[in-house]
Structure 1
Amino acid sequence: MKTISELIEALRGIDLGESGNVGAFERGLAEVVALRTTDSIVPLMGLFRDDAPYDELMFSIIHGIEVFEDAAYVAEVLRDVSSFCSGSPRWASIVFMRMLNTESTRLELVRQLRDADAGTKAAVKSLMEKINARSFEFLPKTTAVIAAAS
């Protein structure tokens, strides 16, 4: 059986610009998700690309990392949030908007942010402000998150 690292490296090596590789990416992603370990979340976050030609594949990654319980999911996303926000700001926004739209996940995010380090808090606060700037409809959902990150 391949390790998470080997599976992730194989996924990184797939040229998503060629439509024939979509199936290979989905199969590789399914192998990672089938391992059912939270150790896969951060490496999977590293696969997000704002310039990906197929949004469906990026949403497949989201679905793969959302399968975990809120506490583990949020902890892992926060563990690499600074890199995520700088490396793929569009998909970081989408992942966090989905977190904001799920009450239990949003509450867990607030809980964990209270004890997070300053860099994590700053990255999340900045992301919440960017989300609010694009859509005021998120303001009621981001208020507690911003307060916890302050």
Structure 2
Amino acid sequence: MVAHRLEQAINSLSKEIQINHFNNVKNIDVKLAKIMAFNDCSVIRPLVRLIEDNAQYDEAVFLIIHSIESFENDVYINEIINEFPYLVKKAHNWATILLIRILNSNTARECMIDKVSLTTSAIKNSILFLLQRINAEKTNFYEKTASLMKVINPI
């Protein structure tokens, strides 16, 4: 019964985004609050898949990001890491922002380093693409990206 209500809440948010294209920040916030009230980490991956680069309002996407980040680093990174190949194709700008936010937190960055070594080559390649993009755009980030790049590409 709870799983069904959670699924309905996620579907309601998804429909809101599809119909209004991140246009109604208040509705998205209300629907996200209903989802997050379940305190269930299984929502992370479906929420990540709602993120789009061409969203009407960045604030609406940040509501999703903040919701995802409200889980413990170990939990949220374990879930989100698997979505990077999808995100790079669908929303590479937001994927870059998500990775920058992880890199900016020492504990999140260390958690990411621990987990990335256990992932598939597709996941590693998508994260490497983002790291290279970050380094090209933000030269002051090399110190933060270097340790993660070493794990992905040890050569």
Contact 2:12 2:31 in 1 (8 A): yes
Is residue 2:70 matched to residue 1:59?
no
2:6 to 4, 7, 18: 4
Paired with 2:22 and 2:40, the residues of 1 have a C-alpha distance of: 29
CA displacement at 1:17 relative to structure 2: 4.8
Gaps spanning 5+ residues in structure 1: where?
A: none
CA displacement at 1:5 relative to structure 2: 2.6
CA displacement at 1:3 relative to structure 2: 3.1
Paired with 1:18 and 1:149, the residues of 2 have a C-alpha distance of: 34
CA displacement at 1:100 relative to structure 2: 0.3
CA displacement at 1:22 relative to structure 2: 2.6
With the length of structure 2 as denominator, give the TM-score of the two structures: 0.89
2:36 to 33, 37, 57: 33
Deviations 1:97-138 (A, max 9, x none): 000000000000001111111111111111110111111111
For 1:80, the equivalent position in structure 2 comes to: 83
CA displacement at 1:8 relative to structure 2: 1.9
Paired with 1:89 and 1:107, the residues of 2 have a C-alpha distance of: 22
Contact 2:53 2:92 in 1 (8 A): yes
Contact 2:22 2:28 in 1 (8 A): no
Paired with 1:131 and 1:108, the residues of 2 have a C-alpha distance of: 19
CA displacement at 1:4 relative to structure 2: 3.1
Paired with 2:129 and 2:147, the residues of 1 have a C-alpha distance of: 14
Contact 1:16 1:22 in 2 (8 A): no
Aligned length: 149
Paired with 1:110 and 1:50, the residues of 2 have a C-alpha distance of: 26
- Aligned residues with identical type, % of pairs: 28
CA displacement at 1:16 relative to structure 2: 3.1
CA displacement at 1:18 relative to structure 2: 7.9
| Partner AA of 1:138 in structure 2 | F
Gaps spanning 5+ residues in structure 2: where?
A: none
Contact 2:53 2:93 in 1 (8 A): yes
In the TM superposition, what are the counterparts of 1:1-150 in structure 2 within 5 Å? 2-14=4-16, 15-17=19-21, 19=23, 21-150=24-153
Contact 2:36 2:67 in 1 (8 A): yes
Contact 2:85 2:122 in 1 (8 A): yes
Deviations 1:73-107 (A, max 9, x none): 11101122100111111111111100000000000
With the length of structure 1 as denominator, give the TM-score of the two structures: 0.92
